[in-house]
Structure 1
């Protein structure tokens, strides 16, 4: 439950970052596109400390295939 709360907090922080810092907006589609762009940046370019200073996309790949790096994944669980 705590992990879900942290994810929710991150999503809300990201949404606030996108909405407040990247306006003005031309419409809902523009907001949706910019939000997707932010999510892509967050997952593929931003190193995240709580998961070992890795990209979230890399961590997800290791989590999906733990046989490729069992010690790393085990240490982060």
Structure 2
């Protein structure tokens, strides 16, 4: 058992650390130093977050599921007005329109 605040104090984190050690650390021994472990860890985290297939969400990577979810659940103007207020929505729309206008004018001037 760890002390309060350690990863070992949390069952979910213990499971994650066990998976990390089983899939990455133990099979690739011996390591040549901390930089090798750090690089391999970054690669494993990228794979775990962006490429690993999840059967619970349709055998697709997590980031693909999140992209699909947020594309289907875009907040409507009515939802934003209720949660943020009309003034914020209007300023967001104005900023978006200004950015689009600036992008279009810079494209036309480069042609």
TM range, smaller chain: 0.5 to 0.7
- Tell me the TM-score normalized by structure 2: 0.45
- State the number of aligned residues: 63
Contact 1:43-1:56 within 8 A present in 2 as well: yes
Measured at CA, do residues 27 and 40 of structure 1 come closer, stay the same or move farther in structure 2, by a change above 3 Å? same
TM-score between the two structures when normalised by the length of structure 1 = 0.61
Stretches of structure 2 lacking an aligned partner (at least 5 in a row): 1-9, 74-111
Tell me the residue number matched to 2:58. Answer: 52
**Residue deviations 1:6-61, cap 9 Å, x none?**
4x223430233211011221111111110111111222222111222120221233
**Larger relative contact order, structure 1 or 2 (CA cutoff 8 Å, min sep 6):** 1
Would you identify which runs of 4 or more consecutive aligned residues in structure 1 move more than 6 Å? Answer: none
- Going from structure 1 to structure 2, the CA distance change for 1:36 and 1:15 (only over 3 Å counts) comes to farther
Gaps of 5+ in 1: 71-77
CA RMSD of aligned residues (A): 2.3
